[in-house]
Structure 1
Amino acid sequence: MDLSILTEALASKSYDKIAVICDNLMLQVAAEGTAFQNEWPYAIHLLGHIYADDINSARFLWKSIPPAIKEVQPEVGAAWKIGQKLWLRDYGGVHEEIRGFNWSPETQCLVAAFSDIYTRKMFQLAAAAYSTISVQDAALFWGMNEDEATKYALLEGWTLDEASRMLTVKKQPVVAEQKLDPGKLQRLTEYMFHLEH
């Protein structure tokens, strides 16, 4: 079983491609009739789907993994625990599961990259949903301690009320939508028609 394309994707930090690569390789190996279950990088495959924010596919992959593999490869179970927390929208739990396992060198960088994008996503979610948020809640969402969360928010331009320990969100400027001129659309349509005929 040749996993060199997967190894190259991991080495080049092309984490957004991991799930597709693994899916395609799994189909290829299965079509060849090769026994692969004991050698398959299930943890990386699960984490690839989690990184790609494809929890449904991760869930189906988890269900297809033989129970014997789940028993002898604790990293597979640890990867799925992250998926479970995402499925349940347990934002703080995602970070706990990431920190709660000693990841192998093969998965460590992928998990760290996912942690970074997940933290950023949670930051953007908080910025969109709140005008103020407690330091404690922000720390939970972002998987940080309260000092780290405060520093992170302040670096993003938020403000802190020391007395109440509340962060005030710096709202991003709203980008005005550009109006489409019907005359320009008509000219573009005529131009495209002319090119095609």
Structure 2
Amino acid sequence: MMDLSQLQSTLASKSYEKIADICDEVMLQVASRGIAFQEEWPYAIHLLGHIYVNDLNSARFLWKSIPQRIKESRPELVAAWKIGQCLWNRDYAGVYGAIRGFGWSPEVIGLVTTFSENYTKKMFQLLTSAYSTITVADVAHFVGMSEDDATNFVILTSDFSALPAM
């Protein structure tokens, strides 16, 4: 039997950056005891934990190690992997499509929502450091929003007081 209480308390406390390490450790402990765990293992949470900390190599390794029958029986796991694939392929808009394209379970919705918020902030920071001028349409594409939402996001998150006086 597996003890996933530490994982559950980590999810409850929203310490999402710790999920991948906790899952890796528990998985190794269980496997070292020769306990069969594949059917009950929280693969989607584990995979999303690696995606959350941007450890795409570990996410790919985990995905490849999951038995095909489990992939075929868990749509949420496949949806989580879709996010990883989009990140791996630098399909920035696809990341948002993958997030919005699935009805996430209560166990992972907080993790996915926080990842999405952090990803949007990161993309916005990259855009502001990479471009001196950029169209609203391009910003909307990179941060996965409509043009109106992207405009509002820019207005709400920008520090216009740092601009030189005209």
TM-score (norm. length: structure 1)? 0.79
By how many angstroms is 1:137 displaced? Answer: 1.0
- Distance in 1 separating the partners of 2:134 and 2:97: 21
Matched residues, percent identical?
65
Summarize the alignment of residues 154-173 of structure 1 with structure 2, pairs less than 5 Å apart: 154-157=155-158
- Distance in 2 separating the partners of 1:59 and 1:83: 8
Q: In the alignment, which residue of structure 1 is the partner of 2:93?
A: 92
Greater strand content: 1
Q: In the alignment, which residue of structure 2 is the partner of 1:43?
A: 44
Deviations 1:16-35 (A, max 9, x none): 00000000000000011111
Stretches of structure 1 that go unaligned for 5 or more consecutive residues are 160-169, 172-197
Q: In the alignment, which residue of structure 1 is the partner of 2:79?
A: 78
Q: In the alignment, which residue of structure 1 is the partner of 2:129?
A: 128
By how many angstroms is 1:132 displaced? Answer: 1.0
- Distance in 1 separating the partners of 2:25 and 2:78: 22
- Distance in 2 separating the partners of 1:146 and 1:3: 42
- Distance in 2 separating the partners of 1:125 and 1:119: 10
Summarize the alignment of residues 94-113 of structure 1 with structure 2, pairs less than 5 Å apart: 94-113=95-114
Stretches of structure 2 that go unaligned for 5 or more consecutive residues are none
Residue 145 of structure 1 aligns with an amino acid whose one-letter code is S
Q: In the alignment, which residue of structure 2 is the partner of 1:151?
A: 152
* Count of residue pairs brought into register by the alignment: 161
- Distance in 2 separating the partners of 1:157 and 1:71: 44
By how many angstroms is 1:144 displaced? Answer: 1.1
By how many angstroms is 1:156 displaced? Answer: 2.8
TM-score (norm. length: structure 2)? 0.94
Q: Which has the larger radius of gyration?
A: 1
- Distance in 1 separating the partners of 2:3 and 2:158: 48
Q: In the alignment, which residue of structure 1 is the partner of 2:25?
A: 24
